[in-house]
Structure 1
Amino acid sequence: MAHSRVAIVTGAARGIGAAVAQRLAQDGYSVGVVDLTEESGAGTVAAIADAGGKAVAIGADVTDAGAVKAAVERVAAELGAPTVLVNNAGITRDNLLFKMTEDEWDAVLGVHLRGAFLMSREVQKHQTEQGWGRIVNLSSTSALGNRGQANYSAAKAGMQGFTKTLAIELGKFGVTVNAIAPGFIETDMTAATAARLDIDFEDFKKGAAAAIPVQRVGQPEDIAAVVSFFVREESGFVSGQVIYVAGGPKD
């Protein structure tokens, strides 16, 4: 069935989000590059344009319902009705439980869970109207527990429950919903973690790689490849799944 090939990727200014946006553009999607500010998404849009693709940068705080509505409306107006949504926007505010503030808890749960909820609620209107859609949510191996990340772990585990419920609700409209749980991926976020722990990033990566069965850390493109699989026509019987992309088994 014919449907518009338009995708929205949140947190698409850099890291995994930027790689996903570029991969979807390569796959023939026009991409709404959503990040906190329009300026921050300009680099991703330029990279897509340079490769012959089409994208637009949109500034929006995904925790703000009004901003989310406006962002999705702008994508629909400028590129066409979005049928693919990748909820990638995320932040960390790491702290041990006894030191964690309410703000650190609320900020992390807000961006991941409230953000994914607001974006999905807005985009599903377009998907159900077209009778076709793909939602991919970014979880993490931290969902299985990670010291200093009670907020992030709870948010990333929450993304999995959210994914499975949306898969049940939206399946009859031709919409699949899946999650990807990355392990160690080389991004600004993991570099910041190394800095916080006062460890040289190269040493941090070497240590991580030694503990991973395939003996390397992941790249944003590794995640983008799995997103590309999930959004294909032929992946329509795969829904409600969580794929750990971590260089080895995780459960």
Structure 2
Amino acid sequence: MTANSLNILITGAAGGMCEGINSRLAQAGHHIICLDLDLDRSEAAALKIREQGGKATAFAADVCDEQAVATLHQQIRDHIGAVQVLVNAAGILDRKYLKDSDAQSFRRAIDINLVGPFVMIKEFSEDMLQAGWGRIVNIASIAGTTGYPYPSYAASKAGLANLTRSLLEDFWGTGLTVNNICPGVVDTPMVIDSVRQQVRRRVPTGNIIDPAEIGGLVNFLISDDAKNINGTNMLIDGGATQLFSLFNNHED
């Protein structure tokens, strides 16, 4: 069914990874609905898309707040129309080992990385179910597959992977598909030099992932070429998951 132009809602749209996702989907002719917690940041992301010749609109909401998301849904319906594609990219990396962590920081990571996508999917899948077609793409991580030194992040991303698989029953025969993209190390300002060096030494391709590659994979998953790809974890990690040693702090 893929139309020439889809309304694509992207959470965390002001983040570094989303710059590549926003740009790639806008280049494909879609209307990008940029959502972030801060409206100024959302507006900046939307402006960058428009400066590149794309179509974008900015909104702000806390993805963990059910009432705020319900209000957002109505605002988007009133000003733009139904959302056909949801990309859950909002997330945080809580850089704490177990000894430095506490329940509060653990809950915050779970809230943003897992509860947020749940709230967004529950609310915005309504439009897709009514239309009989929709695409949901969750940005997870290889950390949800391999584990990670920061347990809150790994647990939240593993939960997101299982949430995605669990939704197959709800969306059975409805025309909706839901998939995870699980990146390795993506080239954003958050990546520290030591991690870049580890990628060059330990990832089979030796490459850090360009955010535009994530955008390309999202663009594929929302296309008719991917209509039978459903409930999957799509790895884009240069082979790092196979080695399981990218962040092995005990290796000399």
Q: CA deviation at 1:20?
A: 1.2
Q: Quote the residue 2:67 is aligned against.
A: 66
CA 212–249 in structure 1, closer or farther in 2 if over 3 Å, else same: closer
- Give deviations 1:132-191, integer Å, cap 9, x for gaps: 0000011111111111x111000000111011111332131100000011001111332x
Letter in 2 for 1:244: L
2:205 corresponds to 1:214: yes
AA aligned opposite 1:69: A
SS of the residue corresponding to residue 162 of structure 1 reads helix
What code does the residue aligned with 1:65 have?
E
- 1:1-251 aligned at under 5 Å gives the runs 1=1, 5-143=6-144, 144-147=146-149, 149-190=150-191, 194=192, 201=193, 203-248=194-239, 250=241
User: 1:60 corresponds to which letter in structure 2?
Assistant: A
Query: In structure 1, what residue type is equivalent to 2:119?
Result: L
Counterpart residue identity of residue 55, structure 1: A
What SS does structure 2 have at the residue aligned with 1:76?
helix
Q: Counterpart of 2:90 in 1: which secondary structure?
A: coil
- 1:46 shift after superposition: 1.2
Q: CA deviation at 1:249?
A: 5.5
Tell me the amino acid that sits aligned with residue 197 of structure 2. K
Change in 2 beyond 3 A, CA 1:13/1:2: closer
Match of 1:19, as an amino acid? G
Amino acid at match of 1:246: D
Q: Is the contact made by 1:210 and 1:216 (CA closer than 8 Å) also made in structure 2? A: no
Give 1:245 shift. 0.5
Q: CA deviation at 1:52?
A: 2.0
Partner deviation per Cα, 1:19-56 (whole Å, 9 max, x = no partner):
21222221221111000111011222112112222111
What is the CA-CA distance between 1:219 and the residue it aligns to? Answer: 1.4
- Quick check: which one's helix share is greater? 1
Would the aligned equivalents of 1:42 and 1:57 in 2 still touch at CA under 8 Å? yes
TM-score by length of 1: 0.90
Q: Give the length in aligned residue pairs.
A: 240
User: Structure 1: which amino acid aligns with 2:60?
Assistant: G
TM-score (norm 2): 0.90
CA displacement, residues 82-126 of structure 1 (integer Å, 9 cap, x when unaligned): 010001100122212122111110110000111000100111100
